[in-house]
């Protein structure tokens, strides 16, 4: 007989294990290769064009490692046109993605081609 659960992809960066009898219980995870360190400029998540001029700080509050800047109380917030994700500090948790009200945060390999330049713009903001 087969396993009581099945593997169901839910997005580009998550998979879920769910049990047929437990509709409200779902274990989600994603794979991170600890043996291959991220290069300085390699981005997990990128904040793109929809953030320009909006700078809603909901993603900043959702981030468990404080990798989205500038914050409202940091120097440069008013002068910055958008928020940025530090590629070294980001732990790839995706907590910022669902809370962004303008859907500006993308996993790097799902970034629309029209916004490809934002990957470099995010890394450059941190000198990476």
* Mean per-residue pLDDT over the chain, rounded: 76
CATH number belonging to domain 45-125: 3.30.70.20
Q: What is the pLDDT of residue 52?
A: 94
Q: Which of 47, 40, 39, 44 is nearest to 121 (CA)?
A: 47
For the whole prediction, is pTM greater than 0.95? no
Find where tokens 């390699």 sit. 42
* Mean of pLDDT values over 16-42: 45
- pLDDT digit string (tens) for 33-82? 433 344 444 678 999 999 999 999 899 999 999 999 999 999 889 899 99
Residue ranges of the domains in the chain?
1-31, 45-125
């Amino acid at each position: 007989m087969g396993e009581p659960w099945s593997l169901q992809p839910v997005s580009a960066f998550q998979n879920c294990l769910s049990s047929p009898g437990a509709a409200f219980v779902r274990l989600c995870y994603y794979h991170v290769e600890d043996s291959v360190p991220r290069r300085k400029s390699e981005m997990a998540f990128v904040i793109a064009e929809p953030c320009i001029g909006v700078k809603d700080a909901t993603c900043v509050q959702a981030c468990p490692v404080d990798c989205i800047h500038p914050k409202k109380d940091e120097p440069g917030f008013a002068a910055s046109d958008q928020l940025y994700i530090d590629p070294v500090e980001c732990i790839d948790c995706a907590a910022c993605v669902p809370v962004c009200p303008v859907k500006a945060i993308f996993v790097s390999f799902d970034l629309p081609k029209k916004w490809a330049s934002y990957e470099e713009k995010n890394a450059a903001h941190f000198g990476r």
